[in-house]
Amino acid sequence: MPKRKIQPADYIARRSLYLPAKAQYDFIMQQAATRGADLPKLVTDAMTAIEAEFEPLLGVLPKDYGIFEPKVLEDLMRLFNSAQIKQATGDVFGRIYEYFLAKFSIQKAHDNGEFFTPSSIVQTIVNVIEPDHGTVFDPACGSGGMFVQSSHFIEHEGGDTAKKVVFYGQEKNRETIRIAKMNLAVHGLEGKIAEAITYYHDEHHLAGKCDFVMANPPFNVDLVDAERIKGEPRLPFGLPGVNKQKKVGNANYLWISYFWSYLSAKGRAGFVMSSQASSAGHGEKEVRRKIVETGDVDVMISIRSNFFYTRTVPCELWHFDRAKPRERRNKVLMLDARNVYRKVTRKIYDFSPEQMHNLAAIVWLYRGQQKRFFGLVKNYFGRVCVESAAVPGVLTSFETLLADLRGRFHAVAKASAKHAGVDAGRKQTLAEAVAELREAVTLYEADAKKLLGGLAAFSRKYAKALPDKNDAQHKARKAFDPNGEAIRGLVKQVDLLYKLAARVADLGAELATDDAISAVYDRRATGRQVKRLDEERKAAVEQLKHAVYFHRQVTWLQDRFPKAKLEAVPGLVKLVDRKDIEAADWSLTPGRYVGVAPQNEDEDFDFEQTLRDIHIELTDLNKEATELAAKIGENFEEIV
């Protein structure tokens, strides 16, 4: 930072929001503590002070803090003034804001809330169109998530968002605009957002001027006045169809036409659209044909259902590129990602970061960017080495605690064997359990030693010179394959050791009711150690899975694209010619072209992940059952 006095502009330059003294947590809490000042008023004054310093937030921030109980507001302020947040690095408040937006959207889903697009969907669009310069426009901007993810992309590439792009947005809902402006502010971003209905207004006069257009518009709207948009220059392909009430029967293709029209001669667009639109007939098909004939349709991606909090139906991501090279102008990349997902809850799915990277890698191959594909695989190998290096430490912690427990078990087994008052059957059961644990430990130690040796050997060979060519990367993948299998086996052994130890502990606790046995066996202390062992087990298993997880990503990519070149993969991807699209009635539905994945493709079946998904679903069902039971109880009380 400069040696002169820090100015508000210095904060803005570093993507931060300057807070005047009365808007800082320390000041507010000090005033509340020393003067007994009214905390809601202090927070409201803080919001007013921020608006005075940052013009884009003028009239935007909430000021109704009197609705909180004083203790609740005080606890909230202390939470945000905690040492953990003060010491946090990166865009911590931006991430917090995104988290609450997502939670709020889940609740608003019951009220048809439409202002929030899940970040994995937005990031997938960003990864395809790569908005890294110029004018970025979202004509249905909602909470501004497209702008935020664009900024993350630019920064990940080493750029400065403020110097690279200018954000523009339109949104019809005034309250949602407030949410969007706050979202931009907490991420240190600025944007020009207008209150307007995009069907009828181009408030920023951006038609034909945008470098990038991104949006998640409302689907299947049937209330657009056809008379008001007659001759609209942003609809060069014509209206998709008008009903007897002089309304556009379905506005999907109005949006699609608008997105295309906003692009400059070199612009790219990415947007979410109803899955019905890509194969719709009648007037919509005619508009789609004209758009396909421009050669600007670039990538189509199918997304399975339950990715949105407000919609359970599947959708598709459309991508235009007005600057497609000649060799690709008559081709469209069809990517069916409906079998690529991660289960968050029973009702909500998303993409993991690696799944998004892998989908982006397919687009790179389509664009001939093979080096980026190699770079991703190389990065995965780097993560394999890093995660493998952490395995010995977590295994040692687990083994140390297990050794302590085995010492306790040996003592209780020895004491019970000498004690004539202990039932012979219970002695035998304990002795057999201790022996079974001992045998399992012997097998584990041999396998763990072999695995650690294999991991160390792999890292010695590759960690300092990660492979960056296809042949070398395939060779490295095969070199790690035995370690991957060994890890899967060792995970099962670690789980087994814990179960056996817990069983012996329980048997020992039953015998420790006798004073002679309890003298050498503290069942409470042993119980605490068993709980600690479970924690160490979880840490060890998680770390082992991390190492094999990134190897699995390499396997996923190499199995589908062994030559590091784009090729048709049944059930996933196919590059389609315009003549094929015409033969399919101008459909742009990926599933119509990529076919179905073969049934025997099950080598990468993740049993642990499947169990985790089942557990998530069961947990959610139990929660819903509890809530319903409580509601039934309340209703019954009212009746009685």
CB 291 within 8 A of CB 309: no
Give the pLDDT score at 541. 96
- Tokens for 483? 């370690």
pLDDT, greater one: 566 or 67: 566
Q: Which of 197-211, 505-519, 587-601 has the highest mean pLDDT?
A: 197-211
Average confidence score pLDDT of the chain:
89
* Closest by Cα among 347, 351, 349 to 335: 351
CA distances from 471 to 40, 468, 485, 506, 563 (A): 64, 9, 22, 53, 9
Give the pLDDT score at 141. 92
Is residue 26 very low, low, confident or very high in pLDDT (cuts 50, 70, 90)? confident
Q: Report whether pLDDT(607) > 70.
A: no
Phi, psi dihedral angles at 345 (to 5 degrees): -135, 180
CB 213 within 8 A of CB 135: no
pLDDT, greater one: 442 or 313: 442
Give the pLDDT score at 17. 78
Q: Which of 78-87, 338-347, 610-619 shows the lowest mean pLDDT across its residues? A: 610-619
State the pTM of this model: 0.85
Span 100-158, pLDDT tens digits: 877 776 665 444 445 568 889 999 999 999 999 999 999 999 889 899 999 989 988 88
Name the β-bridge partners of 272.
Answer: 317
Q: Report whether pLDDT(602) > 50.
A: no
Q: Which of 185-199, 484-498, 528-542, 625-639 shows the lowest mean pLDDT across its residues? A: 625-639
Every domain of the chain and the residues it spans: 8-88, 96-368, 382-565, 608-640
Span 221-280, pLDDT tens digits: 988 999 999 889 999 999 998 888 899 989 999 999 999 999 999 999 999 999 999 999
Q: Report whether pLDDT(377) > 70.
A: yes
SS3 string of 99-128? HHHHHHHHHHHHHCCCCCCCHHHHHHHHHH
Average pLDDT over residues 607-622: 62
Q: Report whether pLDDT(575) > 70.
A: yes
SS3 string of 440-505? HHHHHHHHHHHHHHHHHHHHHHHCCCCCCCHHHHHHHHHHHHHHHHHHHHHHHHHHHHHHHHHHHH
Q: Does domain 96-368 have CATH number 3.30.420.40?
A: no
Span 450-469, pLDDT tens digits: 999 999 999 999 999 999 99
- Tokens for 73? 């507001």
Q: What is the DSSP letter of 274?
A: E
- Percentage of residues in the chain having pLDDT higher than 70: 92
- The count of C-alpha atoms lying within 13 angstroms of the C-alpha of 230, restricted to the half-sphere facing its C-beta, is 6
Span 36-47, pLDDT tens digits: 678 888 999 999
- Percentage of residues in the chain having pLDDT higher than 90: 59
- Tokens for 246? 């002089």
Q: Which residues contact 534 (CB under 8 A, 6 or more apart)?
A: 498, 502
Give the pLDDT score at 225. 94
Rounded distance between C-alpha atoms, residue 207 and residue 263, angstroms = 7
For tokens 């690095």, the residue is: 89
SS3 604: coil
pLDDT, greater one: 627 or 150: 150
Give the pLDDT score at 604. 47
pLDDT, greater one: 472 or 14: 472
Rounded distance between C-alpha atoms, residue 634 and residue 637, angstroms = 5
Give the pLDDT score at 87. 83
Q: Report whether pLDDT(640) > 60.
A: no
* Closest by Cα among 391, 19, 408 to 188: 19
Average pLDDT over residues 22-40: 84
Give the pLDDT score at 113. 41
- Tokens for 371? 């080096």
Average pLDDT over residues 189-214: 95
Give the pLDDT score at 466. 97
SS3 314: coil
Span 326-364, pLDDT tens digits: 999 999 999 999 999 998 887 789 999 999 999 999 999
